[in-house]
Structures are given as structure tokens and as C-alpha cells.
Amino acid sequence: MQRNHSEVLLCTAGPSTSGQGSGTAILYDINTASSLLTLKQTFSAPHATQAVDTRGGQGGLVFSAQIDKGLLNVYSYQKDQLHMKIILPEKLTCIAVDSNGQYLAGGTQNGRIYLWEVASGIMFNSWEAHYRRIAVMKFTPDGGALATGSDDSTVSVWAIASLLDSSLSSDIPNAFYTLTDHTLPITDIVCGVGTFPRCRILTSSLDNSCKIIDLASRSLLSTFQFPHPITTLAMDMTERVFFAASRDGDVHQVNLYRRRTEQTSERGPAMEAVGGGGQGSAELIGLEEDAQKKRLLSVGDPITCMTISLTSSLLVLGTTTGHIIFFDIKSHQRTKTIDCQKGFSVHSLQMMIKPQDLMGHAIIGAAKNDSNSIPIRTVKEFQRIRDPKAREAHEVSLLLPPTAKSWLAVAGGPSQDSFLDDYRFFTNPAMSTSAVLSGPSSSTAMPAGPQASARINELERELALLKSQLSRAKELNTSLYETAMAAIIGDPKQGGTRQPGAASENWNVDSNKSSSESSSLDARPSKRGRVE
């Protein structure tokens, strides 16, 4: 039976000012619009809440930087209470977590960026990246780069590899790319699909423009000019279209591809990319054309945040009045509206797959007490200053992967026999079933079931016998070699030595003869005196 991978929406909301009470974070089922989980005691600013999915046998987490305190609240899907509270060096205006939940970056009011490792709490880097407040931060999908937007109207892209390099820890990091074409504060950033640097970045600003950057060529591809300042963005996963919303309640749909006006082939008009003129040209997005009017959505309330469903079928908007509005992208029809909480403003929206360890909700096809069998991801207290010794030691607490019994039972997983055969191949390739099956003749084919085990045992016994015979043969060969060498160069115990130039087959005779002659000469009387 397959698991139910339904989509859920994480929404954070709070009062317009911090003095009016605390906010909330709610997990909604987008199909039924019902609340699945409510996280309490949190009040975060826009772009200051990030969720990590449950994956790899580790429970997911929700990180929320508090707007009025230097605290980072950590929540788990397995309970509605606070899981952990981390004290920060200073208040963070925005945060970003990579897709694997390995690194967390935080921006501050004065333009400083902190980079921590979640599992160890080590502060890998801290530097002055911008001159003014950092408004938004986003990791690329593969976690290879971090894009930051500031009130100083610049967007910088930082390579994570250089930020983690110990040899460069004492140097001020250099940005991989910096966009300086905006003239007013940056409001939002969206990272496209692809691995760094083969991906694109979409930015928005209060200067009424949106820009697309190509990181591979480090160049500005397109500029789109709108009639009002843009506050939030959302882009389709295939990068065919993006939506730009403003404070006046309008949402503009911008198609990134269009049909050419001239006929380029017999099959009809071909498609071309919109924009692409770089810094010298801009696409004007206005209200004059009927086609652009059809691509305009209006909700009447100021829009604070926006996201697209994982299936790219729904556009979800959050407003200052606490409404979450769902639109069908194809028909532009409003499908449903959720009232988050009266008097609250929606601060952030994030789509995800329904967590397997969600508190109080069983997953179809999951084992009994499955939520309790998934451990919560490891999180340590974050360092408030850089510690070279801790960085050099770099001790990381990691959870062991699930046991073979648990993950072999997952639908679509390997069978027990195939797993054991693969394990046997890596531990002893000569004894694997695959090695036996791939023999030169069909007579060595391995039967299945219990016969295979009996055959393996028989082969193991034969192998042990062959090893003992080989050892005996080596001993005989060594003994034969030593005997032959003794016959050639002599045995010191018998006093035999080989004379230079003598034939090898007569060396014993010559040696004995020389010895007897020497004895007779010593015994012969001397002419000058008697024998001593």
C-alpha cells in the first residue's frame, strides 16, 4: 500500500506590531482547509521562518527567529510545544535553511550574516555582507550558494564552499556575484531549479522592477517593470511563469515565454523567451493590453506573501487581514479562503509534503506507532562567537540510518535475499550469489530457495579444502627449494664450501680430497725439525 503524500501549508501570522501579543504558526491541509498542527509561542517577521521536511529517517523541524528577541525557536512536527530555544548573538531579521537542514544562515539589522551548522552548532562564518538591513535570504536548491537581499538595494550571491573553507576563515568573504541594478530596497528573492551555479535567480524591489540573473554567466538576463512596487514573488518550478504581488492587492502573472509574431517555420509560430535584453531593455508590465488584464489577479487587500503548490496548480496568497486565498493558476478562479486568525497579518507561507511524523495524524500504509519510530533531527546550541578550536575538532552528532528491518519493509524496497546477496558481494565478492551465477558454464547455476543455501555451504567447504591443499603445496614447495639450494651452495653444518671455478657436480669430492691432502701435508716431517 502506498503512502498518502498530500500537500500541507505552513503559515505564520502575527499582529502588525510586536506589542500586541505573540503570533502563531499553523499547518493546514490544503485539500480540506483544516488545521493539522498549531505551534505556539512564536512571533516571527516575514522571511524569518523556515521548515525542514521529514526525510532520511529523521523528523523535520521548523526554525523561527523571533522578531523582538535574539532567540531562535525550534519546533518538531511530533509535538505542538517548543522543542528547543536557541540564544543568538543578536536579533535576526531573516533566516534561510538549506534543503537538507544542514546549515542555517541568519541576517541582521546592520547587514551582518551568520552561518551555523545545525547538527553541531558551530559558527562557520560571520561577516559584514551589506550596509543596511538584510531583508531576505535564500539557499539554492542544492545548497551550494546563498543569495541575500538588503535594504541597500543590492543582491549578493555567496558560494557556501568558500564560506566553509577553513583556510579562508580569517579573510572577509568575497561574493560570487553582486547585483547592483536595483535602486531601492530588495523585497524578495526566488532561486530557480538547477545546481549552483547553473541556476537563475529572480529578485524584486520597491523600485517597481523584477530582475532575472543567470549565475552561470554572472549576468543580468531580463528586467520587468511594473506599475507598483513589488513586495513578494512566486515562480513556477519549470520556470515558465512567475507571479509578482504588490501592496495594493494586485498580482501580475508574467509568462517567461511567448509566441513569435513572425512565422519561423511551416509548423506555425515558434516560442521565444520574454526579455533577455540585459541591462539595456526592460519588459513593461502594465494594464493597457487586454492580455495583461487577463493575467491580473486582484484580492483587494495588501499582499504580504505568496507561494505555489508543489503540483504548480494553485497560487496561495497571504494578506495583512489574516486571509489565506487559493487561486487556480489555469483558470484564475478563487477556490477557497482560510481565515488564519482575526486581527493577525500573514507573514509567511511554505508548501511541503505532509510529514510522516506529524503529531496525531497517521499516514496511510505506515506501520503502527510510526511517528514514535522517527527520531527528531539533531540540533545543538548555536555558538555566539567563532571558536577555531571547536571548528578544528568539528564534532557532529548524527543519527544512525534506519535498521535493515525497518527500511526493507518499505513498499518498493529490496527483498531480503537481494539485500543479503548485495551485502555478501561487498564483504566477499567471491562468495556472492551473483559471482556464482555468472560462471562460465550453466552447470554452476545456483538454484533458488533452500537449495541455494545448501549449495553455498558446499562451495564454502570446497573453498576451505582448496585453501588447506594450497597451504600444503606451498610448504612442500618451500622444503624442495631449501633442499635444492643446500645442494648447490653447501650446508654449513657439514663444513662444505664451493671452490671457485669447480664443477658443481664434483664439489663434494674435491672438497674432501683437499681436506685429506692438507692433513697429510701437516703430518709430514719437516726438514728443519721434528713435527710439532
Residues 314 and 189 in one domain: yes
Judged by DSSP in three states, 441 sits in coil
Q: How are strands ordered across the β-sheet holding 61-66?
A: 44-52, 61-66, 71-76, 82-87
Residue 444 lies inside a defined structural domain of this protein: no
- Predicted confidence at residue 294, as pLDDT, reads 60
CATH number of the domain where residue 251 is located:
2.130.10.10
Judged by DSSP in three states, 134 sits in strand
User: Among 346, 363, 392, where does a domain finish?
Assistant: 392
- Predicted confidence at residue 254, as pLDDT, reads 92
Nearest CA to 67 out of 82, 39, 88 is that of 88
What's the rounded Cα separation, in Å, for the pair 313 and 329?
6
Whole-number Cα distances in Å, 438 to 17, 304, 378, 427:
72, 63, 45, 18
- Dihedral in degrees, nearest 10, Cα atoms 202, 173, 63, 317: -10
Whole-number Cα distances in Å, 413 to 88, 116, 367, 409:
42, 35, 15, 7
Cell of 167: 583556510
What's the rounded Cα separation, in Å, for the pair 529 and 532?
8
0.85 exceeded by pTM: no
Amino acid occupying residue 253 = Q
Cell numbers 546549515 correspond to: 103
Judged by DSSP in three states, 52 sits in strand
Altogether, the residues listed in the chain come to a count of 532
First-to-last CA distance in the chain?
Answer: 111
Residue 334 lies inside a defined structural domain of this protein: yes
Say if residue 302 is preceded by a cis peptide, omega within 30 of 0. no
What's the rounded Cα separation, in Å, for the pair 179 and 164?
23
What's the rounded Cα separation, in Å, for the pair 318 and 336?
12
Tell me how crowded residue 145 is: count the other CB atoms within 10 A of its CB. 26
Residues 374 and 501 in one domain: no
CB neighbour burial string for 405-439, b if at least 16 within 10 angstroms, e if fewer = eeeeeeeeeeeeeeeebeebeeeeeeebbeebeee
Residues 387 and 498 in one domain: no
Q: What is the pLDDT of residues 237-295, one digit of tens each?
A: 999 999 999 988 999 999 998 877 665 555 555 777 887 655 556 788 765 555 555 67
Per the CB < 8 A criterion, the answer to whether 349 and 340 are in contact is no
- Residues 6 or more apart whose CB falls under 8 angstroms from that of 476 comprise none
Residue 497 lies inside a defined structural domain of this protein: yes
Residues 363 and 506 in one domain: no
Residues 496 and 382 in one domain: no
210: domain range?
Answer: 7-392
- Checking 362-367 for CB contacts under 8 A at 24+ apart, the result is 363/3, 363/4, 364/1, 364/2, 364/3, 364/4, 365/1, 365/2, 365/3, 365/4, 365/411, 366/3, 367/409
Residues 353 and 226 in one domain: yes
Residue 458 lies inside a defined structural domain of this protein: no
Residue 421 lies inside a defined structural domain of this protein: no
Residue 487 lies inside a defined structural domain of this protein: no
- Predicted confidence at residue 497, as pLDDT, reads 47
Whole-number Cα distances in Å, 531 to 386, 455, 522:
98, 84, 9
- Predicted confidence at residue 75, as pLDDT, reads 95
Amino acid occupying residue 287 = L
Residues 361 and 499 in one domain: no
What's the rounded Cα separation, in Å, for the pair 103 and 198?
21
Residues 240 and 356 in one domain: yes
What's the rounded Cα separation, in Å, for the pair 448 and 474?
37
Residue 479 lies inside a defined structural domain of this protein: no
- Predicted confidence at residue 365, as pLDDT, reads 42
- Predicted confidence at residue 351, as pLDDT, reads 95
User: Among 339, 364, 392, where does a domain finish?
Assistant: 392
What's the rounded Cα separation, in Å, for the pair 448 and 444?
13
User: Among 392, 413, 428, where does a domain finish?
Assistant: 392
Per the CB < 8 A criterion, the answer to whether 18 and 43 are in contact is yes
Return averaged pLDDT per consecutive 10 residues of the chain, 532 residues in all. Answer: 70 78 89 91 92 88 93 93 94 95 96 95 94 97 96 96 82 92 96 93 96 93 92 94 93 88 60 68 66 74 94 94 94 92 90 89 49 79 88 74 50 62 62 47 51 84 91 90 86 49 44 44 43 38
Per the CB < 8 A criterion, the answer to whether 210 and 226 are in contact is yes
What's the rounded Cα separation, in Å, for the pair 340 and 28?
10
Residue 404 lies inside a defined structural domain of this protein: no
Nearest CA to 250 out of 182, 335, 345, 319 is that of 319
- Predicted confidence at residue 388, as pLDDT, reads 81
**How many domains does the chain fold into?**
2
